[in-house]
Structure 1
Amino acid sequence: MKVQPNENEYIISPEAESISQFLQQLEAAYSDFLSKNIIVDLTTAQPTLKEVELFQSIHDQHIANHKSFVIVVDGFDFNEATEGLNLVPTLQEAYDVIEIDEIQRDLGF
């Protein structure tokens, strides 16, 4: 698992491990990431829909902590994806989602 800390978020991506191994590592280290938004970059992993949906639990947990959790997936049919997950095709769009989420939180939504 590769972790890139930024000012307001962590960009976390798998290295050579499978999606399920990556998710296990992320869940094990999750307490280290509570203070910031999380961007999970799966652009090089090319996950299936079922693999992406495995992130639902940790996504919901992070949202409940009043932080954003966005998954970057390239070459993916977003129409088939679960509506509860924040899925975007590019890293820039992940930053945009986080910015919008932070504005909504500041306004009390």
Structure 2
Amino acid sequence: MFIEKKENYTLVSSNEDSFSDFFTAFSKMKEAYKSEHLVLDISKNINITKEEFLLFLSDGKKKHDKSFVIVYNIANIDDLPQNFNIVPTLIEAEDILEMEAIERELGF
């Protein structure tokens, strides 16, 4: 796992070969970054099921006014809840972060 601090968020990139390994590593580090906006860039080498994606929903970032976005271009987003931020590119993840910042400023 690679962790890179950006200007407005922290980017976590996977280098693991399995979802289990990645999720275990992420679970160990997520407490340290609970007060930051997070973008997870999941490797295309990892195949993830809908049930595995749903494990990220328990993160609770929204209730702490923080954004959480997953970058994974293989996912079928129609199978996931609407409030789940999953996008195919890092540029779109940054757009989501901006939109959510505007929503927070407007009180949504």
Same fold (TM over 0.5): yes
- Greater mean alpha carbon deviation, residues 81-90 or residues 2-11: 81-90
| Residue pair 2:15, 2:43 contacting (<8 A) in 1 also | no
The amino acid across from 2:71 in the alignment is V
Aligned residue in 1 for 2:71: 72
Identity rate, percent: 32
TM-score after normalising by structure 2: 0.87
Aligned residue in 1 for 2:88: 89
TM-score after normalising by structure 1: 0.86
Aligned residue in 2 for 1:13: 13
Superposed displacement of residue 17, structure 1: 4.5
1: distance between equivalents of 2:42 and 2:3?
13
The amino acid across from 1:51 in the alignment is E
Query: Unaligned 5+ residue runs, structure 1?
Result: none
Aligned residue in 2 for 1:26: 26
Aligned residue in 1 for 2:55: 54
Indicate how the Cα distance of structure 1 residues 42 and 85 shifts in structure 2: closer, same or farther if over 3 A, else same. Answer: same
Query: Unaligned 5+ residue runs, structure 2?
Result: none
Equivalent residues, number:
107
| 1:21 aligned counterpart, secondary structure | helix
Please report the RMSD computed on the Cα atoms of aligned residues, expressed in angstroms: 1.6
| Residue pair 1:74, 1:90 contacting (<8 A) in 2 also | yes
